[in-house]
Amino acid sequence: MVSYQKRGNVWQYEISYKDKDGKYKKIRKSGFQLKSDAVLAASEVRATNPNLTVIKSGDESLVNYFERWIKLYKQNVVTPITYNKYQNTAQHAFELFKNIKLKELTKSLYQEKLNKFAETHAKRTVACLHKQLRACILEAVDSKIISTDPTRKAVITGRERPKTAKFLNYNDWQKLLLNLNTYDNSEMIIYLAAVTGMRYGEIVGLTIKDIDTNNNKININKTWDYKYKTGFMKTKNESSIRQVSIDTVTAQKLQKFILLKDTSSERPLFMDNKNHVMVSAEINNRLSDILNNLKIPRITFHGLRHTHASILLYKGVSILSVSRRLGHSNVTTTQSTYLHIIKELEYQDQDKIITILEKANNH
């Protein structure tokens, strides 16, 4: 495998290979004025150096090659969260391909493994796995480790997720609010999503000092990385930094909830005694159980955000106010997301306009 790096004003190549004893070694040289010069020099070394024959033969396993590839090309280049995704792919690759060597990969074998993965994963997840593995395998092709691309024209399939409603109607929304135990961590999270429209990461990123029960406000200035557990993160965009107004009942519920928490002002409010913050799958399962018990149509946790916005729009709150409350980067995002509701409200407005005109003409 070859990588190129600019060091100061000159280029350097680095060739990673395995010697005859199976030990990894590197050939490195710098001082090239142009990258093309470094590429040419590296090609000559790879063509003439007998120590590179072992790795050139494709005897290395796909999994091992992929792990080295992400360290060379991704570590310290992509964000920690993105790198974690590559590491997850490495784990999936190990489970699927085991010790299969690069030279043993064929189109049919690769497709077979993709299909196996698709049996238990959504199509989007399968596509992500394929994208990352293919990028690595194409590097092996470019480096002449293997001669053909076994991932070419691979077919992406995946498990279909059960259909769910996008949001609740007003009566079901109200029924949910009245039946939540807001002394419980998970149910308070669900309650806040339903009455504020906050994103999940924003809610679990709250600390005690972000809750202003005296002025009935919640300050949103960060999120929590509940998926990869890297800690507090920046909000999705600058518009996501905002204050969300809450009603008196919600403020009182939060006050009582906070009194039960033995935590510092810097610690996530919804982190339990074992330093665990629920991941999205856990909160979605909890929400599904609650909705099922209440005989309310199932929605995802994100559907609570859609529910909140939809109800505000139906009740006549301006789209600009809803957009700001949700923390959208611009009102166009809100308009495109809730276009179906806006059109329905437009039809109602047309009826109001006609009624106003008819009354004016009858006087």
The domain spanning residue 234 has which CATH number? 1.10.443.10
Residue 250 falls inside a structural domain: yes
> DSSP string covering 148-167, please?
S-TTTTPPP--BPPPP-BSS
Residue 275 region, left (φ>0) first, then alpha (ψ -120 to 50), else beta? left
Looking at residues 159-180, what average pLDDT do you find? 88
Residue of higher predicted confidence among 286 and 337: 286
Q: How many CB atoms lie within 10 A of CB 245?
A: 12
- pLDDT at position 22, please? 62
Residue 152 lies in a domain: no
CA 215, 221, 224: angle at the middle one, nearest 5? 120
Residue 18 has pLDDT above 70, yes or no: no
Tokens 């969300």 belong to residue: 244
Are 105 and 150 a contacting pair, CB within 8 Å? yes
Is residue 280 one of the residues assigned to a domain? Answer: yes
Task: Specify whether 136 is located in the same domain as 241.
Answer: no
For position 35, what pLDDT does the model report? 87
Q: Are 225 and 201 in contact (CB under 8 A)?
A: yes
User: 23-27, 87-91, 103-107, 268-272 — which is least confidently predicted?
Assistant: 23-27
Q: What is the pLDDT of residue 58?
A: 74
Residue 251, in any domain of the structure: yes
**Residue 350 within any structural domain of the chain:** no
Please say if the pLDDT value at position 92 is more than 80.
yes
Do residues 246 and 134 share a domain?
Answer: no
Number of domains in the chain: 2
Per-residue pLDDT of 257-269, as tens digits, reads 999 887 677 899 9
- CATH classification of the domain holding 75: 1.10.150.130
CA–CA separation, 123 and 129 (whole Å): 10
Based on the fold, state whether residues 105 and 180 are members of the same structural domain. no
Do 183 and 86 reside in the same domain of the chain?
Answer: no
Q: Indicate whether 22 belongs to any domain.
A: yes
What is the pTM for the complete model shown?
A: 0.64
Which of 104, 122, 142 represents a domain boundary (last residue)?
142
Write down the pLDDT at residue 144.
81
Residue 16's pLDDT is: 78
Domain assignment present for 289: yes
Residues 295 and 201 in one domain: yes
Domain holding 20, by residue range, is 2-142
Give residue-wise pLDDT tens across range 240-291. Answer: 999 999 999 999 999 999 998 876 778 999 998 888 999 999 999 999 999 9
Which residue do the tokens 């807001």 mark? 182
Do residue 43 and residue 135 come from a single domain? yes
Predicted confidence at residue 57, as pLDDT, reads 57
Rounded to whole angstroms, how far apart are CA atoms 256 and 207? 15
DSSP letters spanning 207-276: -GGGEETTTTEEEE--EEETTT--EEE--SSGGG-EEEE--HHHHHHHHHHHHT----TTS-TT--TTS-
Mean pLDDT rounded to a whole number for the chain: 89
CA atoms within 13 A on the CB side of 287: 28
- pLDDT > 90 in the chain, percent: 60
Distance between CA 60 and CA 55 in Å, rounded? 7
72/207 same-domain check: no
- Under 8 Å between Cβ of 124 and 101: no
Cα distance between residue 315 and residue 317, in whole Å: 6
292 and 232 housed in the same domain: yes
Whether residues 118 and 206 fall in one domain? no
* Window from 39-53, 77-91, 207-221 with minimum mean pLDDT: 39-53
Going by pLDDT thresholds of 50, 70 and 90, the confidence category of residue 51 is low
Assess whether 120 and 214 both reside in one domain: no
Residues 129 and 192 in one domain: no
Question: In terms of domains, do 182 and 106 share one?
Answer: no
Domain boundary among 122, 142, 162: 142
**Which residue is it, tokens 């609010």?**
177
Distance CA 277, CA 269 (A): 9
**Structure letter (DSSP) for residue 151:** T
Please give the pLDDT value at position 54.
42
Confidence grade of residue 352 (pLDDT, cut at 50, 70, 90): confident
Write out pLDDT tens, residues 278-336: 999 999 999 999 999 999 999 999 999 999 999 999 999 999 999 999 999 999 989 98
Percent helix, percent strand, percent coil in the chain, to nearest 5? 55, 15, 35
Domain assignment present for 156: no
